[in-house]
Amino acid sequence: MLRVYHIFIAALLLLLMPFGAKFILPYFSGTKVEPKNQVASTSKASPPVKPGNPSTPIGGNVWQKVLGKNIVVPSGWQVVPCQGTEPLLCVSAKGEVLGTLEMSVSQVSQNPNFQKHLADAGISFGTKLDYKNSSNQNKVLAALKAWSGDYYAALSKDRQKGNGNKIIFSTHPLENISVGKLPGIRYGFTGIKAEGGLQEQYISYAAFDGNALYIISTAFDPNAAKGKFEKLENLVIFQPYLDAIAENLNL
- Whether residue 171 has pLDDT greater than 70: yes
Identify the residue with better confidence: 151 or 37. 151
Residue 55 pLDDT level (bands cut at 50, 70, 90): very low
Percent share of the chain, pLDDT over 90:
61
Residues 6 or more apart whose Cβ sits within 8 Å of residue 138: none
β-strands 96-107, 212-220 pairing: antiparallel
Rounded-to-5 percentages of helix, strand, coil across the chain: 35, 30, 35
Q: What does the pLDDT look like over 181-200, one tens digit per residue?
A: 999 999 999 999 888 889 99
The residue ranges of every structural domain in the chain are 4-247
Pinpoint the alpha helices (H) of the chain: 4-16, 19-23, 63-66, 112-121, 134-163, 232-247
* Over residues 138-146, mean pLDDT: 97
* Over residues 91-114, mean pLDDT: 95
* Over residues 137-166, mean pLDDT: 88
- Whether residue 157 has pLDDT greater than 80: yes
Distance CA 118, CA 93 (A): 41
pTM: 0.78
Q: Give yes or no for a contact between 143 and 115, defined as CB atoms under 8 angstroms apart.
A: no
Residues 6 or more apart whose Cβ sits within 8 Å of residue 14: 20, 233, 236, 237
Residue 9 pLDDT level (bands cut at 50, 70, 90): very low
- Whether residue 142 has pLDDT greater than 80: yes
Residue 249 pLDDT level (bands cut at 50, 70, 90): very high
pLDDT at 76: 94
CA 130 to chain CA mean position, Å: 26
pLDDT at 48: 54
Distance CA 203, CA 28 (A): 12
**Which of 98, 91, 101 lies closest to 216 in space, CA to CA?**
101
pLDDT at 49: 57
SS3 202: strand
DSSP letters, 44-65, are -PPPP--B--TTS--TT-THHH
pLDDT at 3: 52
pLDDT at 160: 76
Pinpoint the alpha helices (H) of 80-231: 112-121, 134-163
- Whether residue 246 has pLDDT greater than 50: yes
